[in-house]
Every structure is written in structure tokens, then in C-alpha cells.
């Protein structure tokens, strides 16, 4: 009797162990498929009065996120202020998101400093944080997924270096003073030019992200320097302003223009030969890689602190190549 009971107990124990193992495996399988709660805080989710290009950029980022989410079976909630300039509102939204304690957050910070304390708090709560496009101060983010602006700038600088003769001076028009992306781009441009030859750089001029101011700066540059070889502009508004100036002065092709981004006006200028080259970012990849990276972080794998989503230099000659077409003309 005694040992039969033992046999029975052993059998029951084995059975329960097997059952438990199966349950655990099934549960883990279900977990793997992802009931992970992921939240995305963007700089802008769009508003009536928001600039088209701004909306377009974030829409493509979201499209990339959606593609990755579908592939990995995730379902992120995307929130953000209506416009990029609503920094305080973004801080508020981010605070709410952190309070909800999701498993992971993707953040595109409107301000380098303003979102840093909350990011730190999120990290302390054990929330995985990945920043995209613009970083936050501190080391709260597991990874920063963005365009390598230094490299993007280098491409623009090298292109300018190839377009103009060393004897002619060149100028840089930056959209803003003291912002990391602008600083990186400018440094990149200078490096690119340096590597191409001994160029005279007239200086970096700040246009306060205003196309009209950029226009005036470009006009002044052309007036002051008869032999101006070219201008490198660091974002859409400065490029558009400088483009208009060159077109209006009838010096298209004579004064070379290498700019950033891809508004319709810029594309027209590119086609017209006012702009020789545009450096464009890859927002789709940014969105996609952000989700992919966050998933890696949540899975406990190591990720690089910085992930370059890439940029591409597009000239008139290759603007309709399939690879560039989608960057210039997103659906």
C-alpha cells in the first residue's frame, strides 16, 4: 500500500510538473506575441495650422512605426501636441504617459532640457525609453534613433565642395542658433568642405528659421561677394529662402545651392536647377527603427546608444530614381 501511494504521488507530481511546464510555455508564447504596452510621444500629431511639411514628416514617421508594429504584433498608442512648438504641452502629455507606466515609450523631444527630468523618472520606474529625431539631456534613453546630422552635413559639404571651385567663397545659412541638430549639420558641412579642398567659408548666418530672413541673407551675400560660389542651407526654410533669392537674382546654377529637406518648392527648385542637391532624412526608417529598437530593449537585448536612420543626397539627375522618389515624394 505504502509504495503504491508513493508511486501515485510520484506520478501526480510528474503530471503536475508537466502541466505547469506546458502552461508556462504557452503563457510565455502569449507574452512573446506581445501584450506589451507601448506609447509614443511625438513632437506633433498635427493641427489645422501646423505647417504641411512638419505634418508630413511625422506622418511618415508614424507610417514607419505602424509598419514595424504590424510586423512585430505591437499596438502602440501615439500621442503628442498639435504642433512642434507646443513644448509645454508636450511636457504635460509626456508626464501623463509616464504616469500610466507603459512598458516602453518612444519620445521625440521638442526640447532637449524640458523633457529630461521626466525621462529620468520614466527610467527610474523601469520604463524602457527610446528617443527619436531629437534627444533629451541625460542618459535616460536606452537608445537614440535619429538622422546622423553630422554625416548628413558632411554629405552636403562634400557636394558643395565638388560643385564649386576652391577660389570661390561659400557661406552657410543655419536656421537656428544653439540647437544640436543645426550645430551638427553645420559642423558636418564644414568637415565636408574641408575634406574637399581649401575653401573660404564666409561664415555661418542664422535665419531664425524664417525664409524671408534667409532670403535677405542670401541677397546680401550675393551683393557683398560678387564671386560667391555657393550657399549651404541647413533646413527647409533657409533652403527655400536662399533658393528664392538665387532665382530672383537670376543666378541659378551660378551660385550653387545645397540644402536640406524636400518641400514641394525645394523640389521644384531642384528640377529648375536653382538647387543643385538636397540632403533628405528618412522618417519612415526612423519610425520603423524606433519601434524595432524599443522591442529589442524590452526583450532585454543590448542596443546601440545611437542608431543612425540615414540620409540621402539627391540631385536633379537622380531624383526620379526609385530609391529617391519615395523619399522626395512620400505617398
Partner 1 sequence: MVSETKIDERSEAAGPEIRTPGVSTADRIASFLKLHSIQGSITLALLFMVVIAIVFMGLTSYTVARRAILSTAHGYTGELITQIRTSIDTYIANMESIAEVIHRDANVQNYLRAANADDHAESGRFREPAASLLNSISQTRDDISLLMVYGGADRVLFHDPQMRLNEYASITDQDWFTAAQEARGGAAVSGSHVQNAVADRYQWVITLSREIRDDEDNVSLGMLLVDLNFRVIEELASAIELGERGYVFIVAENGDLVYHPQQQLIYSNLREERIAEVLAAAGGSFSADVGGAERLYTVDAESDTNWKIVGVNYIDELVLPAREIQVYFVLFGILCFFLIILLSLRISVRISKPIQMLRESMKSVERGDFDIQVEVRGRTEVADLSRDFNIMISEIRALMKSNAQKQDEKRRSELRALQNQITPHFMYNTLDSIIWMAEGREYDKVITMTSALGRLLRLSISHGDELVTVANEIEHVTNYLRIQQMRYADRLDYSIEVDQEVRRLTTLKVILQPLVENAIYHGLRNQYEGGRIRIRAYADTDLVFTVTDNGVGMAQEYADALLAANGDGRQPEAQNGRGVGVRNVRDRIQLYFGVEYGLRFYSEPDEGTTVEVRQPLLHSEEPAVRGS
Q: What is the DSSP string of 171-221?
A: EEEES-SS-HHHHHHHHHHHHHHHHH--PPEEEEEE-TT-HHHHHHHHHHH
Stretch that binds partner 1, among 78-86, 162-170, 210-218, 280-288 (CB under 8 A): 280-288
Which x/- pattern over 48-77 shows residues binding partner 1 (rule: CB under 8 A)? ----------------x--x--xxxx----
Stretch that binds partner 1, among 10-18, 83-91, 116-124, 228-236 (CB under 8 A): 10-18
Stretch that binds partner 1, among 9-17, 100-108, 169-177, 179-187 (CB under 8 A): 9-17
Which stretch of DSSP H or E encloses residue 144? strand 143-146
Q: Does 273 bind partner 1 (CB under 8 A)?
A: yes
Helix or strand or coil: residue 113?
coil
C-alpha cell recorded at residue 218: 542670401
Question: H helices then E strands: how many in the chain?
Answer: 11, 12
Neighbouring C-beta atoms of residue 42, cutoff 10 Å: 25
**DSSP assignment, residue 101?**
-
CB of 73 to partner 1, least distance (A): 6
Alpha carbon of residue 138 to chain centroid: 19
Burial of 179 (0-12, 13-18, 19+ CB in 10 A): middle
Q: How far apart are CA 256 and CA 152, in angstroms?
A: 18
The residue within the footprint of partner 1, chosen from 126, 178, 250, 322 (CB under 8 A), is: 322
- Residues within window 81-140 making contact with partner 1, judged by CB under 8 A: none
- How do 277-281 and 311-315 pair as beta strands? antiparallel
* Contacts of 6 by beta carbon, 8 Å cutoff, 6+ apart: none
The residue within the footprint of partner 1, chosen from 142, 193, 284, 303 (CB under 8 A), is: 284
The residue within the footprint of partner 1, chosen from 35, 88, 264, 299 (CB under 8 A), is: 264
CB of 262 to partner 1, least distance (A): 10
| Gyration radius of the chain over CA positions | 26
Nearer to partner 1, 23 or 100 (CB): 23
C-alpha cell recorded at residue 301: 537585448
Nearer to partner 1, 97 or 240 (CB): 240
Nearer to partner 1, 165 or 329 (CB): 329
The residue within the footprint of partner 1, chosen from 46, 111, 310, 315 (CB under 8 A), is: 310
Q: Does 31 bind partner 1 (CB under 8 A)?
A: no
Q: Does 197 bind partner 1 (CB under 8 A)?
A: no
The residue within the footprint of partner 1, chosen from 2, 126, 226, 301 (CB under 8 A), is: 2
Sites of contact with partner 1 (CB under 8 A)? 1-4, 6-8, 10-12, 14-15, 18-19, 22, 26, 64, 67, 70-73, 264, 267-268, 271-273, 282, 284-285, 288-289, 310, 320, 322-323, 325-329, 331
Amino acid at each position: 500500500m505504502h509504495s503504491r501511494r508513493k508511486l501515485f504521488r510520484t506520478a501526480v507530481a510528474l503530471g503536475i510538473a508537466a502541466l505547469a511546464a506546458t502552461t508556462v510555455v504557452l503563457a510565455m508564447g502569449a507574452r512573446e506575441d506581445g501584450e506589451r504596452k507601448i506609447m509614443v510621444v511625438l513632437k506633433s500629431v498635427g493641427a489645422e495650422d501646423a505647417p504641411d511639411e512638419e505634418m508630413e514628416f511625422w506622418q511618415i514617421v508614424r507610417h514607419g512605426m505602424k509598419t514595424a508594429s504590424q510586423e512585430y504584433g505591437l499596438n502602440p498608442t501615439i500621442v503628442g501636441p498639435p504642433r512642434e512648438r507646443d513644448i509645454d504641452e508636450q511636457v504635460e502629455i509626456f508626464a501623463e504617459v509616464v504616469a500610466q507606466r507603459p512598458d516602453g515609450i518612444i519620445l521625440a523631444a521638442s526640447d532637449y532640457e524640458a523633457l529630461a527630468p521626466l525621462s529620468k523618472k520614466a527610467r527610474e520606474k523601469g520604463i524602457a525609453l527610446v528617443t527619436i529625431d531629437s534627444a533629451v539631456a541625460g542618459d535616460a534613453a536606452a537608445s537614440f534613433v535619429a538622422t546622423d546630422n553630422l554625416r548628413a552635413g558632411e554629405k552636403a559639404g562634400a557636394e558643395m565642395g565638388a560643385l564649386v571651385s576652391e577660389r570661390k567663397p561659400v557661406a552657410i545659412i543655419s536656421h537656428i542658433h544653439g540647437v544640436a541638430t543645426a550645430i551638427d549639420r553645420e559642423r558636418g558641412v564644414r568637415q565636408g568642405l574641408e575634406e574637399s579642398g581649401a575653401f573660404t567659408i564666409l561664415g555661418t548666418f542664422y535665419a531664425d528659421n524664417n525664409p524671408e530672413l534667409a532670403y535677405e541673407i542670401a541677397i546680401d551675400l550675393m551683393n557683398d561677394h560678387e564671386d560667391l560660389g555657393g550657399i549651404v542651407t541647413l533646413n527647409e526654410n533657409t533652403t527655400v529662402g536662399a533658393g528664392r533669392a538665387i532665382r530672383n537674382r537670376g543666378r541659378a546654377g551660378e551660385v550653387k545651392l545645397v540644402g536640406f529637406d524636400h518641400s514641394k518648392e525645394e523640389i521644384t527648385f531642384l528640377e529648375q536647377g536653382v538647387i543643385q542637391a538636397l540632403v533628405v532624412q528618412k522618417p519612415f526608417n526612423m519610425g520603423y527603427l524606433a519601434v524595432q529598437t524599443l522591442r529589442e530593449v524590452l526583450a532585454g537585448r543590448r542596443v546601440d546608444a545611437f542608431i543612425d536612420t540615414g540620409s540621402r543626397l539627391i540631385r536633379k539627375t537622380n531624383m526620379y530614381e526609385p530609391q529617391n522618389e519615395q523619399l522626395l515624394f512620400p505617398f
